[in-house]
Amino acid sequence: MLLRMAWRNLWRNPRRTIVVLSAISIGIAGCIVAMAINLGMVAGMVDTAIRGGLAHLQIHSAGWDENPELEVRLMDGGAEIAKALDATPEIQYWAPRLRAEGLAASPRASVGVSITGVDPIREAGVSIAADSISEGQWLGERGRVVLGHKLARRLNAEVGSKIVLSVQDLAGELTGQAFRVSGLIRSGSRELDDGVVFMRLPEAQALVRMGESITEIAIVTSDRTLVNQIQARLRAALGSGPEIRTWEQLEPLLVYMIASMDSMAWVLYAAVFIAMAFGIANVLLMAVFERTREIGMMRAVGMSRARVVSLVVIESTFVTMLGLLLGVGLALAAIWLIGDGIDISSFAGSIDEYGIETVLRPSMRSRDLATPIVIGAITAVISSLWPALRAGRAKPADALRHV
Amino acid sequence: MIIEAIDITKVYDTRGVKTQALDGVSLGLEEGEFTALAGPSGSGKTTLLNLLGALDTPTSGKIQLEGVELSGLSAAALSALRLRKLGFVFQAYNLIPVLSARENVEFVMELQGVSLADRRKRASEVLERVELDGLGDKRPLEMSGGQQQRVAVARAIASRPSIVLADEPTANLDSGTAERLLELMAQLNREDGVTFLFSTHDPLVMGAARRLVRLRDGRIIQDETTTTSQASA
Interchain pair B103, A303: CB under 8 A: no
How far is residue A76 from each of residues A63, A93, A198, A213, A216, measured CA to CA in Å? 18, 19, 21, 5, 12
CA triplet B208, B93, A291: central angle to 5 degrees? 155
Report the gap between the CA of B188 and the closest CA in chain A (Å): 20
pLDDT digits (tens, 9 = 90+) for B67-85: 899 988 998 999 999 999 9
In-domain check, residue B129 = yes
pLDDT at A392 over 60: yes
In-domain check, residue B204 = yes
A295 CB neighbours in chain B (<8 A) are none
Lowest mean pLDDT across A41-55, A97-111, A241-255, B83-97: A41-55
SS3 B19: strand
Of B170, B98, B92, the residue nearest B140 (C-alpha) = B98
pLDDT at B59 over 90: yes
Position B228 confidence tier, pLDDT thresholds 50, 70, 90:
low
Q: How far apart are CA A237 and CA A245, in angstroms?
A: 14
Domain range enclosing B186: 3-225
pLDDT digits (tens, 9 = 90+) for A258-290: 888 778 888 888 888 888 888 888 888 998 999
In chain A, where the domains are located: 2-49+254-401, 62-241
Disruptive mutation site among B52, B57, B96 for chain A (greatest number of A CBs within 10 Å): B96
**Taken in order A252, A255, A261, A265, is the CA torsion positive or negative?**
negative
A303 in B contact zone (CB under 8 Å): yes
Mean pLDDT of A163-179: 91
Position A189 confidence tier, pLDDT thresholds 50, 70, 90:
confident
pLDDT at A397 over 80: yes
B93 in A contact zone (CB under 8 Å): no
A381: number of Cβ within 10 Å: 16
Position B231 confidence tier, pLDDT thresholds 50, 70, 90:
very low
Q: How far apart are CA A291 and CA B196, in angstroms?
A: 27
Chain A, window 362-401: residues with a beta carbon less than 8 angstroms from a chain B beta carbon:
395-397, 400
B137 in A contact zone (CB under 8 Å): no
Cross-chain CB nearest to B98 (options A9, A302, A305): A9
List Cβ neighbours of B93 (8 Å cut-off, separation of 6 or more). B140, B145, B148, B149, B151, B152, B172
Q: What is the model's pLDDT at position B226? A: 80
Cross-chain CB nearest to A303 (options B50, B81, B111): B111
**Which amino acid belongs to residue A180?**
R
B193: number of Cβ within 10 Å: 9
Interchain pair B55, A397: CB under 8 A: yes
Interchain pair B80, A305: CB under 8 A: no
Position A32 confidence tier, pLDDT thresholds 50, 70, 90:
confident
Mean pLDDT of A302-310: 92
In-domain check, residue B233 = no
Overall domain count for chain B? 1
The enclosing domain of B132 has a CATH number of 3.40.50.300
Q: How many CB pairs under 8 A join A and B?
A: 69
Q: How far is CA A211 from the centre of its chain?
A: 39
* A215 close to A98: Cβ distance less than 8 angstroms: yes
* Percent residues over pLDDT 90 in chain A: 43
pLDDT digits (tens, 9 = 90+) for B104-163: 999 999 999 999 999 999 999 999 988 888 899 999 999 999 999 999 999 999 988 999
B92 CB neighbours in chain A (<8 A) are 293
In-domain check, residue B232 = no
Helices then strands (H, E): number in chain B? 7, 10
Exposed (0-12), middle (13-18) or buried (19+): which is B62, by Cβ within 10 Å? middle
Q: How far apart are CA A300 and CA A290, in angstroms?
A: 17
Per DSSP, A301 falls in state T
CA dihedral B57, B63, B64, B70 (to 10 degrees): 20
pLDDT digits (tens, 9 = 90+) for A207-222: 999 888 899 999 999 8
Q: What is the model's pLDDT at position A348? A: 57
Cross-chain CB nearest to A297 (options B75, B90, B106): B90
Q: What is the model's pLDDT at position B232? A: 44
SS3 A258: helix
Cβ burial A261-296 (10 Å sphere, 16+ → b, else e): eeeebeebbeebbeebbebbbebbbebbeebbbbbb
Q: What is the model's pLDDT at position A358? A: 65
